[in-house]
Amino acid sequence: MSDNQLANKSQAWSALFSEPMSELVKRYTASVFFDKRLWKADIEGSLAHAEMLAAQGILGAEDHAAIQRGMTKIREEIEAGRFEWKLDLEDVHLNIEARLTELVGLAGKRLHTGRSRNDQVATDVRLWLRGEIDEIALLLNALQRALVDVAEKNAETILPGFTHLQVAQPVAFGHHLLAYVEMFARDAERMADVRRRVNRLPLGAAALAGTSYPLDRERVARTLGMEAVCQNSLDAVSDRDFAIEFSAAASLVMVHISRLSEELILWMSQSFGFIDLADRFCTGSSIMPQKKNPDVPELARGKSGRVVGHLMGLITLMKGQPLAYNKDNQEDKEPLFDTVDTLKDTLRIFAEMAAGITVKPEAMERAAMRGYATATDLADYLVKKGLPFRDAHEVVAHAVKTAIAQARDLSDLSLDELKAFDARIEADVFEVLSLRGSLNARNVLGGTAPDQVRAQVVRHRARLA
Ligand code: ARG
């Protein structure tokens, strides 16, 4: 087949086709304008395949050398932006193969021996995704370190902890941030786990049934740094569960980001006034001159919907596909690519934004004071003096009701006033009613006491180093 003929897709297949594809069908079925981003993985996979073919005596040494030479040239062309991607050649695989044949002739046509685009594309996506997962792991690490830094500085900073978004008990701001570090740490674990299943080799499955050539699949897996070979050819070419798993793990990262975003947005609002974000992460309003809007966290909250949407897209794409490969699978790329792009940008921007956060400890503490955040501590105090917890709860409810009526905090009541609720109350109660006393008292593993927060900071630093 001449190069001219290769450029016309309807003839690239075989002589079987008697009419050309319409422009609309070409555009509809082509993937090159998005899957060209797999080019590096495609070349890497092809080189590993060719090396194995040569080692097995299926491909001559000269052909092997020609393929290596051709691929080096193609790599240069793509990197320099000189490679001409052709819609007529449908996808990244056919584009690169056609160019290889243009460059090195028959050797290029021999590359596809014992291989199909079905095992080729599955291999490419896995190779590409493995590299992206490694970058995401680094970004998750950087975000965690940024949060740990802010947490360390705020081991003693008090803000109200909420349940039902009602003031509950005082917590350290550092403790609050470390909750997110835990979430992102689990996200990193999930990514590492997904990576093990991504990093398996489909090549050698060929179209669906394996191949009659004596391939050494283990050798290709070793060359590509893959941990295992897919053990069933039908499964190898058809399932995209690794992409779905990745997208589920990515969705969870984005959900955690979205929760953090929601808090940043609330905290920056005038009603809370707990923090300020650096100007470079915010925008103004074209009509209201006083406005500074937390656009970055708002967008991240919005983009989490988009990533979760891609998960739904991918999982639905798989459902109902009979074995083995179906063209449906070409639809895995755009959602996967967009998930990776969105996630990486979001993680990058959040690490920067976290590092530049301005904390307003007075506002946080004032808010904790306003909400009777130490009421539980007063109940615990009475329990320690012998009152059953349910009764103590009742006594404190009366005290809080009285304090609310007088618009005073519990700690503003005099000892005599407090004693009126229960005679067991003594002067040492004021330590208990203070926010700091409440914080220090929660010195249990995983609790909010500053000593615990500092210990966690040390643990995280060692883990993230
Ligand atoms: N572009 C295709 C994809 O992304 C490559 C595999 C096509 N295989 C085929 N037999 N048409 O899935």
The domain containing residue 382 runs over which residues?
A: 368-464
Residues 65 and 82 in one domain: yes
Say how far apart CA 227 and CA 359 lie, in whole Å.
46
CATH number at residue 288: 1.20.200.10
Percent pLDDT > 90 in the chain is 90
The active-site residue, picked from 164, 212, 286, 414, is 164
In testing the pocket of ligand 1, which one of 10, 85, 97, 117 has its CB within 8 Å of the most ligand atoms?
117
Nearest residue (by CA) to ligand 1, atom 2, is: 330
Confidence band for 446, pLDDT divided at 50, 70 and 90: very high
pLDDT tens column, 319-339? 999 999 999 999 999 999 999
Ligand 1 centre to CA of 94 (Å) is: 10
pLDDT tens column, 252-264? 999 999 999 999 9
Residues with CB under 6 A from ligand 1: 31, 35, 91, 117-118, 121, 325, 327, 329-330
Contact 349, 281 (CB under 8 A): yes
Strands 228-229 and 200-201, sheet pairing: parallel
CATH number at residue 81: 1.10.275.10
Confidence band for 351, pLDDT divided at 50, 70 and 90: very high
Q: What is the pLDDT of residue 244?
A: 98
Average pLDDT of span 79-100: 98
Residues 458 and 422 in one domain: yes
| 162 SS3 class | strand
Ligand 1 centre to CA of 74 (Å) is: 21
Average pLDDT of span 89-118: 98
Residues 176 and 137 in one domain: yes
285 in active site = yes
Ligand 1, closest atom to CA 329?
A: 12
Residues 205 and 298 in one domain: yes
Ligand 1 centre to CA of 401 (Å) is: 70
Residues 359 and 428 in one domain: no
Say how far apart CA 327 and CA 340 lie, in whole Å.
22
Say how far apart CA 404 and CA 417 lie, in whole Å.
14
pLDDT tens column, 19-62? 988 999 999 999 999 999 999 999 999 999 999 999 999 999 99
Q: For residue 33, how far is the Cα from the chain centroid? A: 25
Residues 139 and 73 in one domain: no
Ligand 1, closest atom to CA 207?
A: 10
Radius of gyration of the chain (CA): 31
Asked, for residue 5, whether it belongs to a domain, the answer is no
Say how far apart CA 168 and CA 376 lie, in whole Å.
9
Strands (E), 218-355: 228-229, 275-276
22 in active site = no
In testing the pocket of ligand 1, which one of 327, 329, 333, 336 has its CB within 8 Å of the most ligand atoms?
327
Residues 259 and 298 in one domain: yes
Asked, for residue 159, whether it belongs to a domain, the answer is no
Ligand 1, closest atom to CA 91?
A: 1
Q: Which of 332, 365, 398 is the last residue of a domain?
A: 365
Query: Token pair of 187, please?
Result: 């996200």
Ligand 1 centre to CA of 181 (Å) is: 40
Ligand 1 centre to CA of 121 (Å) is: 7
Asked, for residue 342, whether it belongs to a domain, the answer is yes
CA angle 101, 103, 106 (to 5 degrees): 40
Residue 1 has pLDDT above 50, yes or no: no
Ligand 1, closest atom to CA 90?
A: 1
Q: Which of 322, 350, 365 is the last residue of a domain?
A: 365
| Domains identified in the chain, total number | 3
Query: Token pair of 385, please?
Result: 């003096």
Asked, for residue 89, whether it belongs to a domain, the answer is yes
Nearest residue (by CA) to ligand 1, atom 11, is: 327
Ligand 1 centre to CA of 330 (Å) is: 6
Residues 76 and 46 in one domain: yes
Continuous H helices in 154-172: none
Q: What is the pLDDT of residue 290?
A: 85
CATH number at residue 377: 1.10.40.30
Asked, for residue 372, whether it belongs to a domain, the answer is yes
Say how far apart CA 121 and CA 36 lie, in whole Å.
11
Mean pLDDT of the chain, nearest integer: 95
Ligand 1 centre to CA of 99 (Å) is: 18
The active-site residue, picked from 22, 269, 285, 398, is 285
Residues 73 and 87 in one domain: yes
Residues 387 and 297 in one domain: no
In testing the pocket of ligand 1, which one of 21, 36, 38, 121 has its CB within 8 Å of the most ligand atoms?
121
Query: Token pair of 419, please?
Result: 């004693």
Nearest residue (by CA) to ligand 1, atom 4, is: 330
Contact 314, 240 (CB under 8 A): yes
Q: Which of 113, 143, 172 is the last residue of a domain?
A: 113
Asked, for residue 451, whether it belongs to a domain, the answer is yes
Q: What is the pLDDT of residue 11?
A: 52
Say how far apart CA 119 and CA 233 lie, in whole Å.
9
Residues 348 and 393 in one domain: no
Ligand 1 centre to CA of 236 (Å) is: 14
Asked, for residue 50, whether it belongs to a domain, the answer is yes
Q: Give the residue, 299 or 2, on which the prediction is more confident.
A: 299
Residues 380 and 433 in one domain: yes
Q: What is the pLDDT of residue 13?
A: 63
Asked, for residue 11, whether it belongs to a domain, the answer is no
Contact 9, 26 (CB under 8 A): yes
The number of helix segments (H) and strand segments (E) in the chain equals 22, 6
In testing the pocket of ligand 1, which one of 88, 127, 330, 337 has its CB within 8 Å of the most ligand atoms?
330
